[in-house]
């Protein structure tokens, strides 16, 4: 039996997982999914910023469109810190495609026009 | 002097949400006043995800969440003034503001919604002993520098206070190459959400020192060199011999948020335990037509709840503008009872209230296995069981208005441990 705190949403359910991967204590189905993933191959959504070629808005926030395997997070940060965007930037623009071979894109999370 | 039906002070999530709700309900003569040169307030620097699960049923980052609201404000041509600093609000609802392109402007508002958010408690507010070196920041300040301008304020960091912004900055600075040596929390429990303890501290093996606080900061040469933390007893007194010293260049403070309602200081209003103004079920202050919502009223855990409350305030303002707030009939005082830190609202006009009465509150400290009671005089109106409840999570309870008799003077909210 393993105990976890669900990080899927701010509710923070206390989950219990038995040896057959049966999850209890979850308020919604995402909790069960999280518990199984956390105990088999943990993933995290990564958010950061990249440089922008603009005096008014020097940084653009970005996120991984889907969660990344936990062990790739610091490698992904290295790649993110190499990027400079030019204007304009739109929410959802791909900043880095298939980061670190994970199949996940890093996308912009802000509209910047100047 | 210009005239406006509704003036909204603050263009963050609460301000935009209340403007959009009032607009939807037919009040279109709106002016939003925003001190920054952008809408969206604090969400602009909250680049992490976790916003919008209630509102949009998806997980968004702060800027994404905010941009949906600013787009709607622009699409509906709701007028706003940026870089506009509000200097005062008078009792008869004249709002004075200034900016570089209009000068000093007076607006006579029929109704006002105050949505000015909150500010962080800083080093001066918690009286840390020791030197006064540079390198001590509030967590939100460090967040602004890093996320909006790209400056990492330090490489070796200690964090005082386990508020969510501090936890989020622990992760954020770690990702950017800083070493976060630990987080100290005065209370024996965390002030932040459990999920942030897991994904911001445990993921990076950052220790959380509960019942600890900073005893001294050292930095003789002008910049921070060391922080000394020590364990505290139940009365928050330092326990001698428990001191631990850390070599750091940065101390971040995440020690609480305070409603930013200085604009109300000269008005004949009373304030509640939240340090925000006393409000009714419609988020109306004691001045008729002056409403308030969001973190200026009480600090929320989730922007989704801020948005919900902003809509309640807008709904109240529209009722007021349409002459539908009578302020007559039975009036209750709402009081926090045993185990409760605060309750919003503090007043209920039963006649004016919508079908459901909404009570928002926090417990004063963590409880397990308790019943929450809402009582009208001596009569229990609602009872609900909670297996666990903590101060960092706001509770929202909705009760049918029909269950209230309109007799007793007081409604109280309290907790009782189950036997």
Instruction: Choose the final residue of a domain: B272, B305, B325.
Output: B325
Give the closest of A5, A47, A111 to B194, CB-based.
Answer: A5
pLDDT tens profile B175-203:
999 999 999 999 998 888 888 999 999 99
Residues B1 and B77 in one domain: yes
* Chain B nearest C-alpha distance from A20 (Å): 23
Instruction: Enumerate residues 6+ apart whose C-beta is below 8 A from A32.
Output: A15, A23, A26
Residue-wise pLDDT tens digits, B309-351: 999 999 999 999 999 999 988 999 999 999 999 999 999 999 9
Torsion of CA B76, B94, B12, B274, to 10 degrees: -140
Residue with tokens 């308790």: B370
Tell me, yes or no, whether B230 and B130 share the same domain.
Answer: yes
Element (H, E) at B337: none
**Rounded average pLDDT over B366-370:** 92
Q: What's the confidence (pLDDT) of residue B159?
A: 98
Q: B139 and B226: one domain?
A: yes
Calculate what percentage of chain B has a pLDDT beyond 70. Answer: 100
| Subunit contact B199:A9, Cβ cutoff 8 A | no
Tell me the CA distances in angstroms from B3 to A14, B195, B284, B315, one per residue in order.
Answer: 53, 47, 21, 21
H or E element that contains B394? none
Give B195's contacts in chain A (Cβ within 8 Å): 5-10, 12
Pairing of strands B331-336, B347-349: antiparallel
| Chain A residues closer than 8 Å to B36 by CB | none
Does the pLDDT of residue A1 top 90, yes or no? Answer: no
Q: Which of A9, A10, A34, A107 to mutate to test the interface with B (most CBs of B within 10 A)?
A: A10
Condensed to tens digits (0 to 9), the pLDDT of residues A37-96 reads 889 999 999 999 999 999 999 999 999 999 999 999 999 999 999 999 999 999 999 999
Cross-strand partners of B371: B385, B416
* DSSP character at residue B198: I
Which residues of B are less than 8 Å from A14 in CB distance? Answer: 388
- On whether the CB atoms of residues B301 and B376 are closer than 8 A, the answer is no
Q: Are residues B273 and B248 part of one domain? A: no
Task: Please indicate, yes or no, whether residues B367 and B311 belong to a single structural domain of this protein.
Answer: no
Is-cis flag, bond preceding B345, omega within 30? yes
pLDDT tens-place string over residues B116-126:
999 999 988 88
Q: How far apart are CA B300 and CA B14, in angstroms?
A: 11
pLDDT of residue A7: 85
Question: Whole-angstrom Cα distance, residue B391 to residue B163?
Answer: 11
CATH number at B400 reads 2.60.40
Asked whether the beta carbons of residue A111 and residue B53 sit closer than 8 angstroms, the reply is no
* CA neighbor of B277 nearest in space, from B161, B116, B385, B48: B116
Contact pairs from chain A to chain B, CB under 8 Å? 72
- SS3 category, B197: helix
Whether residue A9 is predicted with pLDDT greater than 80 in this model: the reply is no
pLDDT above 90: residue B67: yes
B130-149 residues touching A, CB cutoff 8 A: 146-149
Helix (H, G, I), strand (E, B) or coil at B208: strand
The residues with which B373 forms a beta bridge, in sequence order, are: B383, B414
**Partners of residue A8 in chain B, C-beta under 8 Å:** 195
Residue B22: its pLDDT value, please? 98
**At residue A19, does pLDDT exceed 90?**
no
Burial call A67-78: b when 16+ CB within 10 Å, e when fewer: bbeeebbeebbe
| Nearest chain B residue (CA) to A47 | B48
Give domain limits for chain A.
2-40, 47-108
**A61 and B302 in contact by Cβ < 8 A?**
no
Closest approach of chain B CAs to the CA of A73, in angstroms?
8
- Between CA B362 and CA B390 the distance in angstroms is 8
What does the pLDDT read at residue B288? 96
Q: Tell me which chain B residues have a C-beta less than 8 angstroms from the C-beta of A77.
A: 175-176
pLDDT category of residue B221 using cuts at 50, 70 and 90: confident
Which secondary-structure segment (H or E) carries B372? strand B367-376
**Encoding tokens for residue B391?**
């101060």
Total number of domains in chain B: 3
The answer to whether ipTM exceeds 0.90 is yes
Same structural domain, B13 and B99: yes
Q: Phi and psi of B271, rounded to 5°?
A: -120, 155
**Which residues from chain A sit within 8 angstroms of residue B53, using beta carbons?**
9-10
Helices (H), B181-261: 194-196
Kindly state the DSSP code that residue B41 receives in the 8-state scheme.
G
CB-closest option in A12, A14, A49 to B147: A49
Residue of B nearest to A46 (CA): B48
Specify whether B158 is located in the same domain as B194: yes
Interatomic CA distance for residues B236 and B211, integer angstroms: 8
Smallest CA–CA distance, residue B151 to chain A, in Å, is 10
Q: Compute the distance between CA of residue A91 and CA of residue B64 in angstroms, rounded to an integer.
A: 7
Q: Are B331 and B346 in contact (CB under 8 A)?
A: no
E strands in B118-177: 118-120, 136-138, 156-160
Which CATH code of 3.40.50.300, 3.40.1000.10, 1.10.540.10, 3.10.530.10 fits the domain covering A47-108? 3.10.530.10
> What is the domain extent for residue B377?
328-419
- Cross-strand partners of B33: B9, B81
Query: What is the pTM assigned to this prediction?
Result: 0.94
Task: Tell me if A49 and B64 make a contact (CB, 8 A cut-off).
Answer: no
Tell me which residue in A63, A91, A110 faces B49 most closely, judged by beta carbons.
A63
Q: Which of B64, B191, B199, B392 to mutate to test the interface with A (most CBs of A within 10 A)?
A: B64
Average pLDDT, chain B: 95
Q: Are B206 and B291 part of one and the same domain?
A: no
Look at residue B146 in the predicted model and tell me its pLDDT.
Answer: 97
Last residue of a domain, one of B236, B255, B274: B255
Domain finish residue from B325, B343, B366: B325
CB atoms within 10 A of CB B173: 26
Q: How confident is the model at residue B261 (pLDDT cuts 50, 70, 90)?
A: very high
Distance of CA B61 to the CA centre of its chain: 18
B48 interface with A at CB cutoff 8 Å: yes
| Residue A3 buriedness (CB in 10 A; 0-12 / 13-18 / 19+) | exposed
């Amino acid at each position: 039996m393993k105990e976890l705190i669900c990080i899927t949403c701010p509710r923070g359910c206390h989950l219990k997982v038995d040896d057959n991967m049966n999850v209890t204590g979850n308020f919604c189905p995402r909790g069960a999914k999280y518990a199984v993933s956390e105990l088999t191959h943990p993933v995290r959504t990564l958010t950061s910023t990249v440089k922008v070629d603009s005096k008014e808005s020097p940084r653009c926030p970005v996120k991984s469109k889907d969660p990344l395997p936990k062990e790739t997070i610091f490698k992904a940060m290295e790649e993110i810190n190499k990027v400079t965007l030019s204007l304009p930037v739109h929410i959802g623009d791909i900043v880095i495609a298939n980061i670190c071979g994970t199949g996940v894109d890093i996308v912009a999370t802000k509209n910047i026009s100047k | 002097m210009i005239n406006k039906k509704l003036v909204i002070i603050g263009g963050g999530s609460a301000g935009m949400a209340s403007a959009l709700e009032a607009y939807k309900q037919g009040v279109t003569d709106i002016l939003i006043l925003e001190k920054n040169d952008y809408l969206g307030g604090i969400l602009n620097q909250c680049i992490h995800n976790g916003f919008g699960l209630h509102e949009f049923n998806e997980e968004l980052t702060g800027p994404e969440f905010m941009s949906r609201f600013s787009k709607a404000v622009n699409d509906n041509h709701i007028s706003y003034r940026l870089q506009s600093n509000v200097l005062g609000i008078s009792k008869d609802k004249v709002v004075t503001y200034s900016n570089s392109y209009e000068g000093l402007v007076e607006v006579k508002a029929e109704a006002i919604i105050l949505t000015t958010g909150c500010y962080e408690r800083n080093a001066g507010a918690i009286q840390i002993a020791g030197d006064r070196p540079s390198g001590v920041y509030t967590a939100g300040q460090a967040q602004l520098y890093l996320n909006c301008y790209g400056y990492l304020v330090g490489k070796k960091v200690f964090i005082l206070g386990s508020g969510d912004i501090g936890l989020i900055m622990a992760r954020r600075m770690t990702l950017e190459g800083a070493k976060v040596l630990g987080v100290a929390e005065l209370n024996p429990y965390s002030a932040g959400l459990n999920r942030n303890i897991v994904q911001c501290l445990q993921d990076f093996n950052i220790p959380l020192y509960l019942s600890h606080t900073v005893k001294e900061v050292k930095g003789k040469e002008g910049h921070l060199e060391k922080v000394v933390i020590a364990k505290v007893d139940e009365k928050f007194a330092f326990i001698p011999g428990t001191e631990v010293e850390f070599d750091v260049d940065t101390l971040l403070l995440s020690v609480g948020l305070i409603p930013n309602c200085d604009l109300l200081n000269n008005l004949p209003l009373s304030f509640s335990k939240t340090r925000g103004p006393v409000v009714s079920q419609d988020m109306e202050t004691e001045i008729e037509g002056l409403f308030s919502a969001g973190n200026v009223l009480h600090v929320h855990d989730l922007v989704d709840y801020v948005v919900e409350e902003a809509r309640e305030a807008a709904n109240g303002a529209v009722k007021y503008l349409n002459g539908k707030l009578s302020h007559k009939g039975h009036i209750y005082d709402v009081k926090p009872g045993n185990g409760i830190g605060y309750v919003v609202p503090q007043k209920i006009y039963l006649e004016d209230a919508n079908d459901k009465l909404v009570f928002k509150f926090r417990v004063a400290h963590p409880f397990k296995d308790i019943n929450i009671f809402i009582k009208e005089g001596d009569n229990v109106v609602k009872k609900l069981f909670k297996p666990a409840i903590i101060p960092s999570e706001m509770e929202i309870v909705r009760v049918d208005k029909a269950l209230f008799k309109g007799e007793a003077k007081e409604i109280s909210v309290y907790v009782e441990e189950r036997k």
